[in-house]
């Protein structure tokens, strides 16, 4: 029942948004739907609901993390949308509003599913619902970004489907006893799985869902899509939609670990993680477009997530914490970057200088977000990045630790050049009519809430959250669910 509500409520709100005919009233559906969703998730924190529908749906600690992150991000972003869509009166927002709700519904479906097939269906639905968000500006550039997003996304998701089928073939020794794509069945009979097929399945799922996450070398859609979509869509993409394919990879990892293939899977994750960080470092240096810079930063942090999981139990805990921290910090960065973009009417260093003068609060938030995402204390990403480093050192993976720290340093320098030039200096031409748009109450309130959460999690990790995170890390490393 609770699963039906989690998926159904946003779905219904989305359908309602398609029916409502007023561009002014429609956006109010978003905070309404997100509040309902958030209160259901809060109920899940109180008591975890049991399995439903032949065990197809159940929330475990891993799913709960993704679900809660999505719910919080959507709730805050929906408030931002109220003001954003009011400023963008020239665009019809019917599809935008409806698709945001559909994304929340599909993300919830991914988070609560215990069946690799349903997980895939939810993921594909989330991908498709995102396309109209990327295309919101309806110009040639956003068209190109949407096309690349659709093509790469479809290819990735198709490869993931192939991987899912491989997984079912690995389960042939079950001889028809039980559904071969049900995660619980796969885990309980992991010892009998056919290992060559399982290895193939993990590789295809990693590459397929990795494309959706934006892991290198299949990240090329990311800078285009993040750069051309509105800031709020960027926040949802970078914070929530990337968490879903990550969950898909984690499910595959869980099965591999149970079948005794953890070393194989961990090796691949460490390799692809470092590769993503290195790729991001190369493209962040000298990046003149600050939204594209954020996209490469997202590639970097997806790499950090993969790397963390590849480093064993301690690293997994840190990676899951980083999933939350990265999502919230990306919320700060994309929303404030969107405000700066609007205040200047451009998003490259040629147009944007001295944001601190034209949009002081957004620029301050952007600067703080940059300091946080590059891993400086006292912000939350510092805690998780430091824990990943410690996991590497404790595991005597000194080469990995050195690469990790070195790449973080290079990325810090690369991002600093762009961010400082955007924030400081003198604005190119002082159009007084534009400057008023920079800081409007709701549009700075939303990133401020994210910032407050980032500071809060950096200073204090609530005991309940720690319990859920360590429960999830145990699941990943062969523990019973």
Partner 1 sequence: MGQLSQLLLAFIVFLSLYLLGSSSLTGCIKIVALQGMCLGVLPLTVRAEGFHPQGLLLAAGMFILKGFAIPWVLLYAIREVKIRREMEPMIGYIPSLLIGAALIGVSFALAERLPVPAGLRTSLLIPVSLATVMMGMLMMISRFKAVSQVIGYLVFENGVYLFGLAIAYQVPWIIEMGVLLDVFVAVFVMGIIINHIARAFDSISTEKLTRLSD
Binding site for partner 1 (CB under 8 A): 115, 117-118, 120-121, 124-125, 128, 131, 135, 138-141, 143-148, 150-151, 154-155, 158, 161-162, 165, 168-169, 171-172, 176, 179-181, 194, 196-197, 200, 223-224, 227-228, 283, 287, 292
Q: Return the exposure string of 347-369: e unless at least 16 CB atoms fall within 10 Å of the residue's CB, then b.
A: bbbebbbbbbbbbebbbbbbbbb
- CA distances for 366 relative to 224, 283, 406, angstroms: 20, 20, 24
State whether the Cα torsion 183-184-187-189 is positive or negative: negative
Alpha-carbon distance 168 to 204, whole Å?
A: 13
- In the complex, the smallest distance separating the C-beta of residue 117 from partner 1, rounded to whole angstroms, is 4
- In the complex, the smallest distance separating the C-beta of residue 338 from partner 1, rounded to whole angstroms, is 18
Nearer to partner 1, 282 or 405 (CB): 282
Contact 309, 315 (CB under 8 A): yes
- In the complex, the smallest distance separating the C-beta of residue 246 from partner 1, rounded to whole angstroms, is 20
CA atoms within 13 A on the CB side of 439: 15
- In the complex, the smallest distance separating the C-beta of residue 481 from partner 1, rounded to whole angstroms, is 22
Alpha-carbon distance 95 to 30, whole Å?
A: 12
- CA distances for 383 relative to 37, 363, 422, angstroms: 29, 24, 27
Alpha-carbon distance 481 to 470, whole Å?
A: 12
Nearer to partner 1, 157 or 368 (CB): 157
Nearer to partner 1, 124 or 385 (CB): 124
Alpha-carbon distance 214 to 220, whole Å?
A: 8
- In the complex, the smallest distance separating the C-beta of residue 219 from partner 1, rounded to whole angstroms, is 12
Alpha-carbon distance 325 to 299, whole Å?
A: 15
- For 318, the token pair is 């840190």
Contact 254, 262 (CB under 8 A): no
Helices (H), 285-311: 290-310
- In the complex, the smallest distance separating the C-beta of residue 150 from partner 1, rounded to whole angstroms, is 6
Nearer to partner 1, 6 or 392 (CB): 6
Cis before 243? omega within 30: no
Q: Is 22 helix (H, G, I), strand (E, B) or coil?
A: coil
Contact 112, 7 (CB under 8 A): yes
Nearer to partner 1, 187 or 309 (CB): 187
- For 193, the token pair is 């799985």
- In the complex, the smallest distance separating the C-beta of residue 268 from partner 1, rounded to whole angstroms, is 19
- In the complex, the smallest distance separating the C-beta of residue 144 from partner 1, rounded to whole angstroms, is 4
- In the complex, the smallest distance separating the C-beta of residue 181 from partner 1, rounded to whole angstroms, is 6
Nearer to partner 1, 154 or 470 (CB): 154
Nearer to partner 1, 228 or 385 (CB): 228
Cα 304–309–311 angle (5° rounding)?
95
Beta bridge partners of 115: 182
The C-alpha R_g of the chain, in whole angstroms, comes to 21
Nearer to partner 1, 262 or 287 (CB): 287
* DSSP strands (E only) in 217-358: none
- CA distances for 423 relative to 136, 272, 366, 462, angstroms: 27, 33, 8, 34
- In the complex, the smallest distance separating the C-beta of residue 125 from partner 1, rounded to whole angstroms, is 6
- In the complex, the smallest distance separating the C-beta of residue 113 from partner 1, rounded to whole angstroms, is 11
Nearer to partner 1, 74 or 135 (CB): 135
Nearer to partner 1, 212 or 358 (CB): 212
Nearer to partner 1, 24 or 144 (CB): 144
């Amino acid at each position: 029942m609770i699963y039906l509500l989690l998926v159904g409520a946003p779905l219904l709100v989305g359908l309602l948004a398609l029916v409502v005919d007023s561009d002014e009233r429609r956006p109010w559906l978003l905070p309404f739907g997100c509040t309902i969703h958030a209160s259901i998730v809060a109920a899940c924190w109180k008591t975890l609901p049991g399995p439903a529908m032949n065990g197809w749906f159940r929330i475990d600690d891993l799913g709960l993390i993704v679900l809660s992150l999505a719910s919080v991000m959507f709730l805050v972003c929906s408030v931002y949308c109220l003001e954003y869509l009011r400023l963008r009166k020239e665009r019809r927002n019917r599809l935008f509003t409806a698709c945001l709700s559909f994304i929340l519904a599909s993300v919830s479906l991914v988070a609560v599913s215990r069946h690799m097939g349903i997980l895939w269906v939810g993921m594909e639905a989330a991908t498709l619902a995102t396309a109209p968000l990327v295309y919101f500006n309806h110009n040639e550039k956003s068209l190109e970004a949407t096309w690349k997003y659709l093509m790469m996304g479809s290819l990735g998701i198709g490869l993931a489907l192939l991987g899912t089928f491989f997984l079912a073939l690995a389960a042939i020794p079950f001889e028809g006893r039980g559904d071969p794509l049900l995660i619980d069945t796969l885990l309980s009979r992991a010892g009998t799985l056919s290992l060559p097929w399982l290895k193939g399945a993990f590789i295809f799922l990693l590459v397929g869902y990795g494309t959706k996450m934006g892991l290198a070398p299949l990240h090329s859609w990311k800078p285009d899509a993040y750069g051309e979509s509105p800031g709020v869509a960027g926040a949802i993409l970078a914070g929530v939609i990337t968490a879903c394919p990550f969950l898909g990879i984690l499910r595959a990892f869980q099965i591999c670990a149970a079948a005794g293939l953890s070393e194989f899977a961990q090796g691949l994750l460490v390799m692809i993680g470092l590769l993503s960080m290195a790729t991001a470092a190369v493209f962040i240096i000298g990046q003149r477009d600050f939204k594209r810079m954020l996209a490469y930063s997202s590639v970097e942090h997806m790499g950090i997530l993969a790397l963390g999981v590849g480093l064993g139990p301690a690293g997994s805990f840190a990676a899951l914490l980083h999933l939350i921290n990265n999502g919230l910090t990306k919320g700060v960065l994309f929303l404030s970057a969107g405000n700066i973009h609007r205040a200047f009417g451009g998003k490259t260093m040629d147009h944007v200088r001295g944001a601190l003068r034209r949009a002081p609060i957004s620029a301050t938030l952007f600067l703080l977000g940059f300091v946080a995402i590059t891993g400086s204390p006292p912000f939350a990403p510092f805690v998780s990045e430091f824990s990943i480093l410690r996991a590497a050192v404790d595991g005597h993976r000194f080469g990995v630790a050195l690469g990790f720290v070195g790449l973080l340093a290079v990325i810090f320098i690369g991002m600093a050049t762009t961010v400082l030039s955007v924030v400081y200096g003198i604005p190119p031409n002082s159009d007084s009519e534009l400057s008023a748009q920079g800081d409007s109450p709701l549009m700075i309130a939303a990133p401020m809430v994210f910032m407050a959460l980032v500071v809060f999690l950096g200073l204090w990790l609530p005991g309940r959250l720690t319990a859920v995170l360590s429960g999830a890390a145990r699941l990943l490393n062969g523990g019973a669910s």
